[in-house]
């Protein structure tokens, strides 16, 4: 990994090593492109962030998380980081299959067996992430990607922008972040929480994959206050006809994941041992009616966005200050740590979650 020019070393440039290809997506603080490594022809994805918008500490945090997570078949891996004149670039795995939900809709069918296979991969990814001392905190359909367009393509969990390295021995965190529709009740209540928030979201995703609608917003028309109230009270059911051909085992797992009390939620270890997650006796019949529901869900939008995400990634506005010198020096410090070949594992290296 390269360093900052102030060290006297030649600054490595993204454009000297990679060719920028088509745009893949646009977020609040970054744009993601496909890119090709010039020396090998291998394809990657690159997250491009404008220097004027980037919070250096948040950027360092995201790279630190990606480094710690390392290589896992169901997690998007970090390959390189660049501090270029016009911004920052994080090079990651390229998932050419797009997002999971769009893929299922395009194929026109799904089955409970396939959902079982998907949840197995997601649970395996979370188990690895948690074992690395990371809480994802922003699992949602857009962050579940496919490695290719092949039928048996692997799933990869991406976007660690809101993830955090657990600092306290108790595993407690306090930051309110994520997207309301996928937040666990304890996050909404603004109380201390643990990595069990990811288990709650896994239950939500399993519910959606089997029904095509959000468990707390059947028609996708609730306002923010109504949605939050239903999440906090865990007010959902399996009464809709779409559940008629879903196994009791699947419903039981969802019920054990969507528990208001974090300590009552099924552990990932226990989930990965269930017959359902291992595909034993799981119905394989196509569920064509589910596709229309998933298409409707794809249009589902929640008006509440992650306010803490904005605070985390945006630079604070400083009235009429020559912020460029201050911000650039902070960014130099952050990038000098980020682009080193290794990042220390000491607890005090990382900002404590607040």
For the chain, domains (ranges, CATH) are 100-307 (1.10.510.10)
Range of lowest pLDDT (2-11, 12-21, 82-91): 2-11
Token pair for 231: 């999440």
252 in catalytic set: no
Question: Catalytic one among 61, 99, 138, 198?
Answer: 138
CA distance readout (Å), 85 to 17, 33, 331: 15, 18, 12
Q: How confident is the model at residue 272 (pLDDT cuts 50, 70, 90)?
A: very high
- Phi, psi angles (nearest 5°) of residue 262: -55, -35
Q: State residue 219's pLDDT score.
A: 85
Q: Is 270 annotated as a binding residue?
A: no
Q: State residue 328's pLDDT score.
A: 43
Mean pLDDT of 138-150: 86
**Is pTM, for the whole model, over 0.85?**
no
- Phi, psi angles (nearest 5°) of residue 50: -70, 135
Has residue 13 got a pLDDT over 50?
yes
Has residue 301 got a pLDDT over 60?
no
* Residue found under tokens 């969802």: 254
Q: State residue 202's pLDDT score.
A: 96
Name residue 145's beta-bridge partners: 99, 156
* Residue found under tokens 């005090």: 348
Q: State residue 87's pLDDT score.
A: 86
pLDDT in tens, 182-225: 888 998 888 887 889 999 999 999 999 999 999 999 888 888 88
Q: State residue 160's pLDDT score.
A: 53
Q: State residue 21's pLDDT score.
A: 97
Has residue 6 got a pLDDT over 80?
no
DSSP states along 6-73: GGTSPPP-HHHHEEEEEEEEE-SS-EEEEEEETTT--EEEEEEEETTTB-HHHHHHHHHHHHHH--BT
Name residue 90's beta-bridge partners: 47, 81
pLDDT in tens, 87-109: 899 999 999 998 898 889 888 88
CA distance readout (Å), 226 to 147, 230, 299, 304, 309: 37, 6, 19, 12, 22
Distance CA 145, CA 157 (A): 6
Distance CA 52, CA 313 (A): 11
Q: Strands 78-84 and 87-93: what pairing?
A: antiparallel
Using DSSP's 3-state secondary structure scheme, residue 339 falls into: coil
Residue 256 neighbours by CB distance under 10 Å: 17
Sequence-separated (6 or more) residues with CB below 8 Å from residue 146: 95, 96, 97, 98, 99, 100, 103, 153, 154, 155, 156
Q: How confident is the model at residue 300 (pLDDT cuts 50, 70, 90)?
A: low
Distance CA 145, CA 140 (A): 11
Name residue 18's beta-bridge partners: 37
pLDDT in tens, 33-42: 999 999 999 9
Token pair for 200: 């709650």
Has residue 336 got a pLDDT over 50?
no
Q: Which residues of 3-38 are buried (b: 16+ CB within 10 A; e: fewer)?
A: bbeeeeeebbebeeebeeeeebeeeebbebbbbeee
Q: How confident is the model at residue 79 (pLDDT cuts 50, 70, 90)?
A: very high
Mean pLDDT of 72-98: 90
Beta strands in 167-290 (DSSP E): none
Q: How confident is the model at residue 10 (pLDDT cuts 50, 70, 90)?
A: low
pLDDT in tens, 224-257: 889 999 999 999 999 999 999 999 999 999 999 9
Q: State residue 147's pLDDT score.
A: 93
Has residue 155 got a pLDDT over 80?
yes
Residue 226 neighbours by CB distance under 10 Å: 12
């Amino acid at each position: 990994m390269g360093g900052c020019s102030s060290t006297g070393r030649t600054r490595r440039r993204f454009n000297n090593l990679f060719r920028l290809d088509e745009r893949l997506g646009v977020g609040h603080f970054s744009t993601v492109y496909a890119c090709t490594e010039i020396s090998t022809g291998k394809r990657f994805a690159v997250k491009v962030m404008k220097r004027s918008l980037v919070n250096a500490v948040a950027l360092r945090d995201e790279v630190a998380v990606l480094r710690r997570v390392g290589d896992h078949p169901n997690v998007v891996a970090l390959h390189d980081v660049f501090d270029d004149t016009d911004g920052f670039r994080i090079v990651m795995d390229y998932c050419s299959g797009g997002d999971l939900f769009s893929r299922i809709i395009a194929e026109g069918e799904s089955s409970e067996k396939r959902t079982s296979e998907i949840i197995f991969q997601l649970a395996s990814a979370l188990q690895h992430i948690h074992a690395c001392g990371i809480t994802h905190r922003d699992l949602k359909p857009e962050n579940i990607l496919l490695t290719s367009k092949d039928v048996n393509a692997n799933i990869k969990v991406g976007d660690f922008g809101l993830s955090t390295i657990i600092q306290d021995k108790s595993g407690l965190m306090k930051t309110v972040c994520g997207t309301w529709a996928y937040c666990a009740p304890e996050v909404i209540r603004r109380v201390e929480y643990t990595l069990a928030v990811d288990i709650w979201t896994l239950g939500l995703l399993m519910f959606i994959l089997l029904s095509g609608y959000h468990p707390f917003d059947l028609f996708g028309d609730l306002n923010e206050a109504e949605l939050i109230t239903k999440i906090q009270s865990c007010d959902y059911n399996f009464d809709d006809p779409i559940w008629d051909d879903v196994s009791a085992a699947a419903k039981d797992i969802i019920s054990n994941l969507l528990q208001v009390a974090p300590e009552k939620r099924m552990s990932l270890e226990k989930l990965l041992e269930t017959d359902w997650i291992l595909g034993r006796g799981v119905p394989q019949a196509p569920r064509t009616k589910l596709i229309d529901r998933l298409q409707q869900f794809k249009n589902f939008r929640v008006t509440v966005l992650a306010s803490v995400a904005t605070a985390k990634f945006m630079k604070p506005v400083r009235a009429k200050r020559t912020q460029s010198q201050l911000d650039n020096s902070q960014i130099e410090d952050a990038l000098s740590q980020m682009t080193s070949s290794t990042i220390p594992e000491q607890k005090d290296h990382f900002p404590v979650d607040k």
